[in-house]
Amino acid sequence: MRSVLLCLTLLLAASASWSQEPLGLAAPEAVARTGLLKHILPRFSLKTGIRVRPDENGAMRLAEAGAGPPVFRRGGAVYHLEIGDDPRQVRFRDWLISEIGRRTIESFQPDGEPMFTARFDAQVEEETVGFEGDSAAGARLSLTHCGRCHVIGPQNRMNGLGSTPSFAVLRTLPDWAERFQQFYVLKPHGAFTQIEGVTPPFDIERPSPIHPVRMTLDDLEAILAFVATTSAADLGAPLQLQ
């Protein structure tokens, strides 16, 4: 009897994660029809016990112009993964950009050749983007205004939200400068950000849901100068074995 109870206990513990609702992943038709998701999702589930299924209304989303980190590309199309705060979603993202995840993506070879690549080594020299603001002031302003959600650097590397990309990850995006210059109109920032002389006051019936971020254009220029000095995260370099 004790042996039976022990076996049942171990079985329940091992299968606990499988009793959870599967995570949904929305993907563009150009990705879904290739069969890539049928290749990678079961492998992630077998590795972690977390089920993920294709779902056009899923909480996770693959998109060409997404705000999350780039996870793979095909030709000129680079696909980014957007996730929420669920720790299981964070684990899926971390697995996908890990060396094991990259190899899994590139092992999808229906015609004998990799259809997607998860490497993002620079093909051309990156254009230098410069801003005239005070980068030292920008570092302080970034920590004050952005550090509550984003990891801006070593100074708050343990304090960002897991679902929010760090400044270093955002710097990998080809349009990072435009994103930072217009951040106050991009979701969710517009709901709680005021730029003096630029944005209208909050609607009295729709106040900021959190303590508002208030800054001037000079503050924004300083933040841009700081971000320009931030090194882009290395998301695609292979492991160096010694």
Q: Average pLDDT of the chain?
A: 83
Residue 128 pLDDT: 52
Q: Domain ends where: 64, 89, 106?
A: 106
User: Total domain count for the chain?
Assistant: 2
In whole angstroms, what is the distance from residue 146 CA to residue 170 CA?
Answer: 13
Cβ(18)–Cβ(51) below 8 Å? yes
Residue 96 pLDDT: 93
In whole angstroms, what is the distance from residue 11 CA to residue 8 CA?
Answer: 5
Say whether both 147 and 206 belong to one domain. Answer: yes
Say whether both 94 and 139 belong to one domain. Answer: no
In a domain, 11, yes or no: no
Query: CB neighbours (10 Å) of residue 18?
Result: 11
Residue 195 has pLDDT above 80, yes or no: yes
Q: Mind listing the pLDDT tens digit for each residue in 217-240?
A: 899 999 999 998 888 887 765 444
**Average pLDDT, integer, range 193-221:** 88
Residue 10 pLDDT: 44
Residue 54 pLDDT: 95
Say whether both 143 and 224 belong to one domain. Answer: yes
Residue 20 pLDDT: 74
Q: Mind listing the pLDDT tens digit for each residue in 10-69?
A: 444 444 444 578 999 999 999 999 999 999 999 998 888 899 999 999 999 999 977 889
In a domain, 32, yes or no: yes
In a domain, 184, yes or no: yes
Say whether both 100 and 139 belong to one domain. Answer: no
In whole angstroms, what is the distance from residue 67 CA to residue 176 CA?
Answer: 10
Q: What is the CATH classification number for the domain harbouring 33? A: 3.40.190.10
Q: Per the confidence metrics, is the pTM higher than 0.85? A: no
In a domain, 148, yes or no: yes
Q: Mind listing the pLDDT tens digit for each residue in 141-182?
A: 999 999 889 998 998 888 888 788 999 889 888 888 888 888
In a domain, 200, yes or no: yes
| Domain extent at residue 140 | 135-228
Residue 67 pLDDT: 80
Cβ(192)–Cβ(116) below 8 Å? no
pLDDT category of residue 121 using cuts at 50, 70 and 90: low
Say whether both 157 and 212 belong to one domain. Answer: yes
Residue 177 pLDDT: 84
Say whether both 140 and 193 belong to one domain. Answer: yes
In a domain, 90, yes or no: yes
